[in-house]
């Protein structure tokens, strides 16, 4: 339950701090006095978005802080899951800065709006008169039935399984589509792969083949050049080796006379050894060189194959072709694996479908058993609210589609008077009837809900007199198990509260402010009398107010 609400620099509120108690609290005030501002501030604490228009003074930040007593509501797991400090007196704070930025804190730990909204769902339910039309929404109607059916746990299990089922279905559709597209490409990919495999490509092969091709293609020129070089090196009397030997013999005669000459001798000897080695290699290369037109043609064919493949695949090296070959092998292999994955997913979907059918059947059975009890409870409460002939026709029928809350289709029809046909709530129920039905629904749900606080914002629209008294009594009874607030214009409801707060405007200089005040017993008598008779309070109005309070 909410124990304290502090507001600073929000809308028409400069500064406000108010304490709340358990039970049934009433909030009254003139239209436009600021009741919606209080709800707006609570909305910010519960995670609604804000903007700079919320600031009363645009130069200062707005701070809204609410204290909640949560020891009885098993919320420790939420705090643990979100890595927050759990406190039995939890403080939620919202700040709106002049820059327009917003910050939120739970027990002084910064949180995002989603976390604040998730916590808010466990703390307060604000029901406004505009939400009454939500009763006509099938989703809301299912929520009512499921609360009475105690379907919460099985619904969570169903929804978790449904999420997995839909994920598998999505994957299966993707794979089937991919398989369909891939089958068209498979033949071509297989052809390309076979072409590359048959080429028997090797890394670095192209460079070696190009070198061998140049040798074989120019064998005559190479042979001529090698033989000529060899002749120049070895020719008698005038060959390079002969001349080097002559130089070496001449230098040997003078080598002892100077280190310069001995150095020249060493260099000449080294040169002679090197030239001799070169001559041997020239002879070897010449001997190995063979004019082989058949080998030349084979190399040429292999090179042309490589060049054609490179052109087809728009690459410039054998290594890139080998990469493409690996990718094609993976692609063809993947196509083979698709069928296995599709079969596996199909079996998983079939298994989950069976489990979903079992869970949805349980949900359906629970709903069918709960509907008579729900109808009777609604009728019982509404009879006390001046609707003695009210009837409901609620049916759930199993469909073939998996909805988010089972496989049921719902027919929730209503008749307020004898002799009238059943019809949809939004079409046949008046505003006053909708308000009473909503109150009856909330009263029933309060028996199944662990929500700490429920706020009714002018749910009494369209009712008055004795019916208003009954509505007040129902809210009073609800407050035995939870904290109830009622924002109302009806004195009959206001008189049922355990505590009474008044929202009013005050003027300080040129500034208008909204304030919230807890009324004393005497102040409360006057407030209810004013609600009965207007600004000028008569003795009869005061007596009537006292009678209502008693």
Q: What is the pLDDT of residues 312-331, one digit of tens each?
A: 888 888 888 888 888 877 77
Query: Which of 484, 477, 483, 482 lies closest to 459 in space, CA to CA?
Result: 484
The answer on 9 and 76 residing in a single domain is yes
Q: In what order do the strands lie in the sheet with 423-424?
A: 391-403, 406-415, 423-424
Q: What is the pLDDT of residue 132?
A: 64
Containing domain of residue 232, as a range?
Answer: 179-336
Q: Kindly state whether residues 396 and 505 are assigned to the same domain.
A: yes
- Of 314, 336, 358, which closes a domain? 336
Task: Find the CATH number of the domain harbouring 475.
Answer: 3.40.50.300
What tokens were used for 515? Answer: 């304030």
Question: Could you tell me if 271 and 194 lie in one domain?
Answer: yes
Residues 326 and 191 occupy one common structural domain:
yes
401 with 500, same domain? yes
- The reply to whether 426 and 497 lie within a common domain is yes
Catalogue the E-assigned strands of 44-193.
62-69, 89-96, 102-106, 109-111, 124-128
pLDDT, position 332: 64
pLDDT of residue 408: 94
CA distance 359 to 353: 10
The span from the CA of 26 to the CA of 479, in Å, is: 12
Domain membership flag for residue 532: no
Is residue 122 within 8 Å of 433, Cβ to Cβ? no
In a domain, 272, yes or no: yes
| Residue 237 Ramachandran class (φ > 0 left, ψ -120 to 50 alpha, else beta) | left
Number of domain units in the chain: 2
Residues 427 and 476 in one domain: yes
Q: Same structural domain for residues 187 and 332?
A: yes
At residue 130, the pLDDT reads 61
pTM exceeds 0.75 for this model: no
Do 90 and 234 lie in one domain? The reply is no
Residues of the chain with pLDDT under 50: none
Residues 325 and 426 in one domain: no
Q: Which of 278, 310, 336 is the last residue of a domain?
A: 336
The reply to whether 311 and 405 lie within a common domain is no
Q: Are residues 145 and 261 in the same domain?
A: no
- Sort 512 into a burial class: Cβ within 10 Å, 0-12 / 13-18 / 19+: exposed
pLDDT at 521: 92
The pLDDT of residue 160 is 94
Residue 341 falls within a domain, yes or no?
no
Q: Is residue 351 part of a domain?
A: no
């Amino acid at each position: 339950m909410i124990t304290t609400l502090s507001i600073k620099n929000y809308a028409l509120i400069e500064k406000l701090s108010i304490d709340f108690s358990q039970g049934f609290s009433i909030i009254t005030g003139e239209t436009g006095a600021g009741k919606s501002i209080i709800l707006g501030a609570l909305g910010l604490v519960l995670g609604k978005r804000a903007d700079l228009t919320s600031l009363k003074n645009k130069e200062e930040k707005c701070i809204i802080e609410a204290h909640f007593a949560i020891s009885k509501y098993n919320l420790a797991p939420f705090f643990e899951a979100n890595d927050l400090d759990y406190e039995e007196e939890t403080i939620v704070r919202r700040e709106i800065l002049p820059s327009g930025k917003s910050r939120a804190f739970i027990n002084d730990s910064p949180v995002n709006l989603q976390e604040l909204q998730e916590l808010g769902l466990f703390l307060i339910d604000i029901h406004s008169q505009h939400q009454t039309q939500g009763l006509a929404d099938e989703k809301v109607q299912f929520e009512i039935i499921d609360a009475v059916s105690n379907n919460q746990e099985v619904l969570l299990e169903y929804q978790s399984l449904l999420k997995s089922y839909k994920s598998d279905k999505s994957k299966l559709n993707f794979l089937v589509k991919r398989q369909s597209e891939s089958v068209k490409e498979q033949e071509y990919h297989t052809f390309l792969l076979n072409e590359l495999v048959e080429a028997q490509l090797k890394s670095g092969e192209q460079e070696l083949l190009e070198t061998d091709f140049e040798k074989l293609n120019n064998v005559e020129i190479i042979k001529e050049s090698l033989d000529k070089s060899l002749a120049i090196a070895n020719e008698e009397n005038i060959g390079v080796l002969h001349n080097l030997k002559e130089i070496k013999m001449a230098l040997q005669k003078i080598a002892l006379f100077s280190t310069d000459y001995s150095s020249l001798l060493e260099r000449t000897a080294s040169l002679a050894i090197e030239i001799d080695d070169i001559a041997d290699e020239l002879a070897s290369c010449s001997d190995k060189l063979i004019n082989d037109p058949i080998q030349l043609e084979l190399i040429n064919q292999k090179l042309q194959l490589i060049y054609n493949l490179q052109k087809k695949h728009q690459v410039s090296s054998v290594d890139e072709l080998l990469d493409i070959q690996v990718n094609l092998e993976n692609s063809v292999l993947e196509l083979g694996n698709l069928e296995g994955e599709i079969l596996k997913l199909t079996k998983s979907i079939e298994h989950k479908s069976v489990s979903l059918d079992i869970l949805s059947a349980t949900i359906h059975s629970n709903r069918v058993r709960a509907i008579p009890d729900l109808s009777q409870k609604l009728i019982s409460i509404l009879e006390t609210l001046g609707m003695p002939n009210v009837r409901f026709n609620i049916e759930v029928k199993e469909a073939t589609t998996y909805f988010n809350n089972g496989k049921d289709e719902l027919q929730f029809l209503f008749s307020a008077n004898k002799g009238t046909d059943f019809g949809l709530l939004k079409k046949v129920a008046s505003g006053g009837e909708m308000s009473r039905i909503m109150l009856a629904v909330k009263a029933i749900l309060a028996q199944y809900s662990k929500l700490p606080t429920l706020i009714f914002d002018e749910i009494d629209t369209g009712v008055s007199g004795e019916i208003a008294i009954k509505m007040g009594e129902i809210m009073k009874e609800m407050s035995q198990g939870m904290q109830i607030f009622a924002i109302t214009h009806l004195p009959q409801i206001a008189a049922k509260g355990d505590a009474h707060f008044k929202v009013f405007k005050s003027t300080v200089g040129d500034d208008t402010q909204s304030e919230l005040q807890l009324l004393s017993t005497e102040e409360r008598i006057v407030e209810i009398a004013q609600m009965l008779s207007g600004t000028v309070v008569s003795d009869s109005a005061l007596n009537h107010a006292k009678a209502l309070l008693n």
